[in-house]
């Protein structure tokens, strides 16, 4: 059994009852629940590194973390067959604990042994989010109150899509971010869309190399401003070019936001990607 192995986990969670991903004194977090589940099984303190720290109430279907397991921890997470079985046993063992400690709100979807140079945060090529809105009272479903934003005002989805597309590319998204000291607000928005589904709900999809703090929710807020008619077409792009966060900034609630997926290069390129990202960015905050 190898002395130390790096493992990547893909997980989903309902963020309703958590104060975000990151540990916070006195408040439940997804990170805390996951690390406590690891301790319950291994009796070792194992820290996880996440692809993107989600805010309070934000959900995930495809969040990714990495962690390092010493030989003793590997042995406790497997049955008899050694490290080769980690990819099968880790999800099963962790999910058994999380069903009790997190009431099923966190689910490990898969585990994969990765090279030592893989970094869940810095090796990522992109993150993808979806925000869901209901703007028609006949479609309001109280069972969706935890993952849908309900609005009284009808929205022009075509106008919202046009605004989203106007933001594509590599830009300084300062107008759409909550800046952090020493962190860049330059991001590459790679894909954007807004469309109404057969269920009547509007889904806004955004994909970027990374999102700075509150970027997704502030972009969605601006799209809604135009879609509702409160702002003229082109306003989202004007906000981008203004490069200022002021009283006109609108940020929507976090509960309707889902981190859908994180994309990575092939394993043999993951260390190079991580080094490149560290060289140009000091803080990859997700929304």
Which residues participate in catalysis according to the annotation? 55
Write the burial class of residue 15 (CB in 10 Å: 0-12 exposed, 13-18 middle, 19+ buried).
buried
If we measure between CA atoms, which residue out of 4, 3, 60, 2 comes closest to residue 33?
Answer: 60
DSSP letters, 119-156, are: -TTTS-SEEEEEEEEE--GGG--GGGTTT-EE-SS---
In angstroms, the CA 251 to CA 41 distance is: 40
If we measure between CA atoms, which residue out of 160, 178, 3, 150 comes closest to residue 73?
Answer: 3
Q: Kindly report the three-state secondary structure assignment for every residue of 161-176.
A: HHHHHCCCEEEECHHH
Phi, psi angle pair for 12, to nearest 5°: -125, 150
Listed in sequence order, the residues at least 6 apart from 104 whose beta carbon sits closer than 8 Å to its beta carbon are: 98
Strands 59-70 and 149-150: unpaired
Burial annotation 221-241 (CB, 10 A radius, 16+ → b, else e):
bbbbbbbbeebeeebbbebbe
Residue 78: strand, helix, or coil: coil
Judge whether 123 and 51 are in contact, CB under 8 Å.
Answer: no
């Amino acid at each position: 059994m190898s002395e130390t192995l790096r493992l990547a986990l893909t997980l989903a969670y309902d963020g309703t009852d958590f104060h975000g991903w990151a540990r916070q004194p006195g408040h439940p977090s997804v990170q805390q629940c996951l690390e406590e589940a690891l301790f319950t099984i291994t009796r070792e303190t194992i820290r996880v590194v996440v692809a993107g720290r989600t805010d309070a109430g934000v959900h995930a279907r495809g969040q990714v973390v990495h962690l390092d397991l010493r030989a003793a921890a590997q042995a406790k997470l497997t049955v008899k067959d050694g490290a080769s079985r980690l990819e099968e046993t880790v999800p099963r063992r962790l999910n058994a604990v999380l069903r009790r400690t997190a009431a099923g709100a966190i689910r490990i979807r898969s585990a994969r042994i990765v090279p030592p140079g893989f970094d869940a945060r810095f090796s990522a090529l992109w993150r993808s989010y979806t925000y869901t809105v209901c703007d028609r009272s006949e479609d309001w479903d109280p069972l969706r109150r935890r993952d849908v934003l309900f609005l009284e005002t009808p929205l022009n989805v075509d106008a919202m899509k046009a605004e989203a597309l106007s933001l594509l590319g590599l830009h300084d998204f300062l107008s759409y971010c909550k800046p952090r000291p020493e962190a860049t607000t330059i991001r590459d928005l790679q894909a954007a869309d807004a469309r109404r589904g057969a269920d009547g709900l509007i889904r806004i999809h955004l994909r970027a190399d990374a999102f700075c703090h509150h970027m997704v929710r502030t972009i969605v807020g601006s799209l809604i401003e135009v879609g509702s008619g409160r702002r003229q077409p082109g306003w989202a792009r004007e906000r981008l070019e203004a490069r200022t966060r002021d009283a006109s900034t609108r940020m929507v609630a976090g509960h309707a936001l889902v981190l859908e997926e994180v994309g990575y290069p092939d394993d043999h390129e993951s260390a190079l990607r991580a080094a490149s990202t560290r060289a140009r960015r000091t803080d990859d905050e997700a929304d």
